[in-house]
């Protein structure tokens, strides 16, 4: 099992799926993070995720279909071509991304290759230079059981429904549940 820590702890048990979330830089005000419950990492995550789903502040660059499509393509490329992980589920929301995968390499390498590439492409599309696109650190949680894995897949694929963006998971184009594939 590998472990490292920056602002958050990151555990990566070998052979276990990881639920990973990253967000756009500036998408969560410091006041929201300070108001989050401190009783557990899971409650802090749920609080922040509900706020992100409201998309009431901060950048919403992932609304741009070119950028969302680029993130989906990079997720698939890193699975199919680079063989970095087995991808179970994903969703690209308007200001954050959720993925569930079983890594074959260290998580830091995966997030660097996905976030670095997509940030460069998105900033090119947006004609931005010298500014952060993604928040530097991601949230991750290792999955402890098959039941938890299924709950997380459902959570990821239903996230656009919970956020009020669509009525059915299949309707959200930037998800593993999408009928567009």
Residue 4, domain member (yes or no): no
Question: pLDDT grade, residue 1 (50/70/90)?
Answer: low
What is d(CA 90, CA 85) in angstroms, rounded to the nearest whole number? 13
Residue 43, domain member (yes or no): yes
Residue 25, domain member (yes or no): yes
Question: pLDDT grade, residue 162 (50/70/90)?
Answer: very high
Residue 176, domain member (yes or no): no
Residue 180, domain member (yes or no): no
Question: pLDDT grade, residue 36 (50/70/90)?
Answer: confident
Task: Indicate which CATH number applies to the domain containing 17.
Answer: 3.30.70.1290
Is there a contact between 78 and 72 (Cβ–Cβ < 8 Å)? no
Out of 9-18, 45-54, 101-110, give the one with best mean pLDDT.
101-110
Contacts of 152 (CB under 8 A, 6+ apart): 17, 19, 89, 100, 143
Domain hosting 13: range is 9-171
Residue 59, domain member (yes or no): yes
- Other Cβ atoms within 10 Å of 32 Cβ, number: 16
Is the pLDDT reported for residue 75 higher than 60? Answer: yes
Name the token pair of 88: 């179970």
Residue 50, domain member (yes or no): yes
What is d(CA 124, CA 114) in angstroms, rounded to the nearest whole number? 16
pTM of the model: 0.89
Closest-CA residue to 115 (of 88, 83, 78):
78
The residue with greater pLDDT, 136 or 22, is 22
Question: pLDDT grade, residue 34 (50/70/90)?
Answer: confident
Q: How many domains does the chain have?
A: 1
Residue 42, domain member (yes or no): yes
Name the token pair of 27: 């998408």
Per-residue pLDDT tens digits for 118-129: 999 999 999 999
What is d(CA 32, CA 145) in angstroms, rounded to the nearest whole number? 31
Q: Pairing mode, if any, of strands 18-23 and 9-12? A: unpaired
What is d(CA 12, CA 142) in angstroms, rounded to the nearest whole number? 7
What is d(CA 55, CA 65) in angstroms, rounded to the nearest whole number? 16
């Amino acid at each position: 099992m590998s472990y490292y820590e920056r602002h958050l702890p990151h555990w990566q048990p070998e052979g276990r799926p990881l639920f990973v979330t990253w967000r756009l830089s500036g998408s969560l005000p410091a006041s929201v993070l300070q108001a989050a419950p401190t009783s557990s990492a899971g409650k802090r995550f749920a609080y922040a995720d509900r706020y992100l789903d409201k998309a009431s502040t901060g950048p919403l660059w992932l609304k741009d279909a070119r950028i969302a499509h680029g993130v989906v393509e990079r997720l698939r490329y890193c699975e199919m071509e680079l063989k970095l992980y087995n991808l179970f589920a994903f969703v690209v929301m308007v200001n954050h991304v959720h993925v569930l995968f079983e890594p074959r390499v260290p998580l830091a390498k995966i997030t660097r290759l996905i976030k670095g590439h997509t940030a460069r492409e998105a900033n090119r599309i947006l004609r931005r230079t010298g500014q952060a696109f993604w928040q530097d650190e991601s949230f991750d949680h290792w999955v402890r059981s098959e039941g938890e894995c299924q709950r997380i897949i459902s959570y990821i694929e239903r996230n656009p429904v919970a956020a009020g963006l669509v009525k059915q998971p299949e309707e959200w184009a930037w998800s593993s549940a999408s009928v567009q594939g």
